[in-house]
Structure 1
Amino acid sequence: MSKGIKIVTIGGGSSYTPELVEGFIKRYNELPVRELWLVDIEEGKEKLEIVGDLAKRMVKKSGLPIKIHLTLDRREALKGADFVTTQFRVGLLDARAKDERIPLKHGVLGQETNGPGGLFKALRTVPVILDICRDIEELCPNAWLINFTNPAGMVTEAVLRYSNIKKIVGLCNVPIGMEMGIAKLLNVDHSRVRIDFAGLNHMVYGLDVYVDGVSVKDKVMELLTDPNNSSFVKNIQGIGWDPSFIKSLNVLTCPYHMYYYKSEQMLEKEIKNYEKGETRAEVVKKLEKELFELYKDPNLDIKPPQLEQRGGAFYSDAAVRLITSIYTDKRDIQPVNTINNGTIAGIPNDSAVEVSCMITKDGPKPITVGELPVPVRGLVQTIKSFERTSVEAAVTGDYNKAILALTINPLVASDKLAKEIVDEMLEAHKEYLPQFFKKN
């Protein structure tokens, strides 16, 4: 790697890419990126060119010797890569809109990574990530795969259980968003805050929180009872926790817990948005349109601040921080999705968990958690059962497994309802689910 690093980003036409490029520019002294290959598919070609041109202008402004390549040929890009990042959306935002709208029609939460939406995003995404893994095994077997594609936990699990790739780390912006949010609440610099994270992707808890190594958990729990402080991500509006609930739970929740602990209120809110034609996918479509108009400006050579409205703020900062720590063997602590191997008791060893890890040149070394606190243990195990069954359904195309997965999920009230939703969503996403429509 002495000649500099080759990074390949699959889903390079994403609106997040400028933040990634900004991260590589900022950390160039520690992470000398020589080549950045942005890869996309035919439907994403126009966006790839717009984002790619902006990336080239950003690099030119920085004066750094980073070469940006744009391609629709994934295999050409992957040859000899050191790191591969994945940030793609099978079926684009139209598929996300269906994931949100169809469940709501049945009176069930429609959300990108939870409930029926999470199941169907996994069913579409898992075969694609496994296909990418086969190319990586052949063309850059020593590369690290850093996945941000949602549902990140299930995607990481699929790679761990159904491919030969061991150098995989799943990444989400929720933990870093929680750290940033808590730093802001406490009015301290983010670098001074550390949270002990444990759980699953979008089902992660903060077991303790420290400033300069001293626990401030009690103070933070108090602050979290304010409705304005209950969510740290743009795509979930906080409702505010009941003070007695949050205090007795005695761990930090992530914004996605609202779908489980406040299902009724969140469903009401989503149905109102649905009736106004304002599901999150529709909001994001408008935001993306505005962002790409900005990106087209030939005078723009920085990441525009409007990108933070997109909901993925800090993604790329987290990604570049992670890649840098692996490359430099930094041994700092970061929350990532990795193989459990006994880190959390009661979760299968070969499953993905989201935990605080020491990041080394050999990848993440999880900090052992042992048993999760009793009040949260059951929900985490239930969601892991849902995730494992969903991944199996995605790999095998087993219709009954898909219904079983959805019936296990706490957001769906019965097996009959699960079957109705699966039937309608299979038909709606038929184009992206060939494994379920194989001719006998």
Structure 2
Amino acid sequence: MGHKLKIVTIGGGSSYTPELLEGFLRRYHELPVTELWLVDVEEGQEKLDIIHALCERMVAKAGVPMRIYKTLDRRAALQGADFVTTQLRVGQLKAREKDERIPLSHGYLGQETNGAGGLFKGLRTIPVIIDIIKDVQEICSNAWIINFTNPAGMVTEAIYRHTNFKRFIGVCNIPIGMKMFIGDVLRLTPQDELNIDLFGLNHLVFVRDVRVNGKSRFDELLEGVATGTLSANSVKNITDLPFNEGLIRSLRLIPCSYLLYYFKPKEMLAIEMGEYYKGGTRAQVVQKIEQQLFKLYKDPNLDVKPKELELRGGAYYSDAACEVINAIYNNKNTEHYVNIPHNGHIDNIPPEWCIEITCTLGQDGAQPTSRITHFDEQVLGLIHTIKSFEIAASHAAISGDFNDVQLALNLNPLIHSDNDAELLARKMLLAHEKWLPNFTNTIRDLKTSKGK
């Protein structure tokens, strides 16, 4: 691919960026990044400055010839880019707080990738990612976009459904977190080869088989999860509740932790409502963690990624992204778990759907190579329901139409009333007005009707 390797990170002021850089530095012998450009928006300038300075110290300590740049000019940064990573949060953590608090104030789950909160994060994010794609197509059309902006499944669906850009891969930390959990539980060594058969949608994946050195060890893992001696929860931002033993035994699948929202909606809502009434939401917890992190990042003597970063729910996102870039750049043809259109690999869902599945990654991108070619019937209904929601949500993000927002909310199984769907649509559109330019006319009409 030539000597120069340029990577552009959009959302470069993110607290996750030091982990991303650590991943590049660890792999420098095979992934020789010569330029890393950190791009952010005006509101993120202060964080960008702090992150840039820390990254420069990390590179100096590593002693590698990598240059770190910072800019608010995305188009300038994209010139000659080989890879673009997207890790942005439109409206920053204050918008996430609204995604959580507004639904909870009406007795609904408040979560950044599920339910009403997940929808509105998607509505804010999808148009911005599409704008980035337009720039990439014009400025560096051969670049790959590796996206780990949530809701990753909905974003990936929108890109493949509403643009003609094909060099786009959605990455999530849930599968890599599950893989690390499985490796720890089975007490594997670095010499052991671990293969996982997982399938589903982003934040809605199930593990069907686990093989160590070619031999299945799924039954012992399933037994541990069923009896509650093992926790399948691999993320910090979800309350750790055990799945019902009968459910796990009847499914014969290991669900990711986000499936608690669908198998235990009553319990999860009760926990979140309790936190809400005490005056706290996950967004507020994260803001406190961020404040602590950036205080650490400012220390001129800090030249490594601090351990405290793992308190953030998205730990290992960046590691997953580095591995994906490495596999493409070096044509490794190695196993990864990503979000892409399956193009008929699964025989009982529409071929154009974007799903999260085991793939082989090389210079031509991701190809589904999972041994799974058929989704289990007992979870197919839930997968269809959430995919219908993602499709409706991606359409609403582009149309800017109030009825399209209502439809998406009504299709989501965490919303239990069409009247409440309308109420949440109104309140959240007005609350997020600044970050929803596609909805300018809709919001103007809402304000007019409110005044009557």
State the TM-score, normalized to the length of structure 2: 0.95
Show the counterpart of 2:304.
302
Identity %: 54
Instruction: Please tell me whether residue 279 in structure 1 is matched to residue 268 in structure 2.
Output: no
Contact 1:11 1:87 in 2 (8 A): yes
Secondary structure at the counterpart of residue 437 of structure 1: helix
Instruction: Tell me the equivalent position of 2:176.
Output: 176
Matching residue of 1:84? 84
TM-aligned CA deviation for residue 38 of structure 1: 0.2
Amino acid at match of 1:358: T
**Displacement after TM superposition at 1:228 (Å):** 5.6
Q: Secondary structure at the match of 1:419?
A: helix
| Counterpart among 310, 315, 327 of residue 325 in structure 1 | 327
* Equivalent in the alignment of 1:198: 199
**Structure 1 consecutive aligned stretches of length 4 or more whose deviation exceeds 4 Å:** none
One-letter amino acid of the structure 2 residue matched with residue 353 of structure 1: I
Structure 1 residue 357 corresponds to structure 2 residue 363: no
Give the counterpart of 2:439 among 427, 436, 439: 436
1:405 aligns with 2:393: no
Instruction: Output the amino acid matched with 1:202.
Output: H
Query: Residue 376 of structure 1: which of 366, 375, 379 is its match?
Result: 379
Pairwise CA distance, 1:112: 0.5
Tell me, what secondary structure is at the counterpart of 2:179?
helix
Asked if the contact 2:232/2:254 (under 8 Å) is kept, the reply is no
In 2: Cα distance, 1:105 partner to 1:57 partner? 44
- Write the distance in 2 (CA, Å) between the matches of 1:404 and 1:347: 22
Q: Give the aligned partner of residue 149 of structure 2.
A: 149
| 1:81 partner letter | A
- Is the deviation greater in 14-23 or in 224-233? 224-233
**Is 2:231–2:242's contact at 8 Å kept on the other side of the alignment?**
yes
Structure 1 position 345, deviation (Å)? 3.4
Kindly indicate whether the alpha-carbon contact (under 8 Å) linking 1:123 and 1:394 is maintained by their aligned counterparts in 2. Answer: yes
The range that moved more, 244-253 or 8-17, is: 244-253
Task: Supply the AA of the counterpart residue of 1:92.
Answer: Q
Provide the C-alpha distance between the structure 1 equivalents of 2:121 and 2:348, rounded to a whole number of angstroms.
Answer: 26
Aligned length: 440
Unmatched tracts of structure 1, length 5 or more: none
Q: State the secondary structure of the residue aligned to 1:95.
A: helix
Matched residue SS, 1:33: coil
Q: Does the Cα contact within 8 Å between 1:342 and 1:349 map onto a contact in 2?
A: yes
Structure 2 counterpart of 1:296, one-letter code: K
CA distance in 1, matches of 2:246, 2:350: 33
Q: 1:153·1:170 contact (CA, 8 Å) conserved in 2?
A: yes
Which residue identity is paired with 2:404? K
Give the letter aligned to residue 49 of structure 1: D
Q: Give me the whole-angstrom Cα distance separating, in 1, the residues matched to 2:209 and 2:279.
A: 39
Distance 2:324 2:392 in 1: 29
| SS of alignment partner, residue 8 of structure 1 | strand
TM-score, normalised via structure 1 length: 0.98
Aligned 8 A contact 2:100 2:110 in 1: yes
Q: Distance in 2 between matches of 1:217 and 1:401?
A: 42
Matches of 1:214 and 1:116, distance apart in 2:
42
**Bigger Cα displacement from structure 2, 220-229 vs 356-365:** 220-229
1:186 and 2:186 equivalent? yes
User: Alpha-carbon deviation of 1:315?
Assistant: 1.0
Asked if structure 1 preserves the Cα contact closer than 8 Å seen for 2:6 and 2:34, the reply is: yes
1:6-21 equivalent positions in 2, closer than 5 A: 6-21=6-21
Native 8 Å contact 2:344 2:352 kept in 1:
no
Alpha-carbon contact 2:195-2:210 (below 8 Å) kept: yes
1:230 aligns with 232
What is aligned with 1:37? 37
Aligned residue type for 1:383? I
Deviation of residue 339 (structure 1)?
1.2
CA contact (8 A) 1:227 1:240 kept: no
Question: Is contact 2:156-2:340 (8 Å) kept?
Answer: yes
Unmatched runs of 5 consecutive residues or more in structure 2: 446-452
CA distance in 2, matches of 1:157, 1:351: 7
Which residue in 2 is equivalent to 1:386? 389
Instruction: Using the TM superposition, give the Cα deviation of residue 197 of structure 1 relative to its aligned residue in structure 2, in angstroms.
Output: 1.4
Counterpart of 1:46, as a letter, is E
Distance 1:384 1:92 in 2: 26
- Within 1, Cα distance between the matches of 2:59 and 2:388? 45
Question: Hey, what does 1:158 align to over in structure 2?
Answer: 158
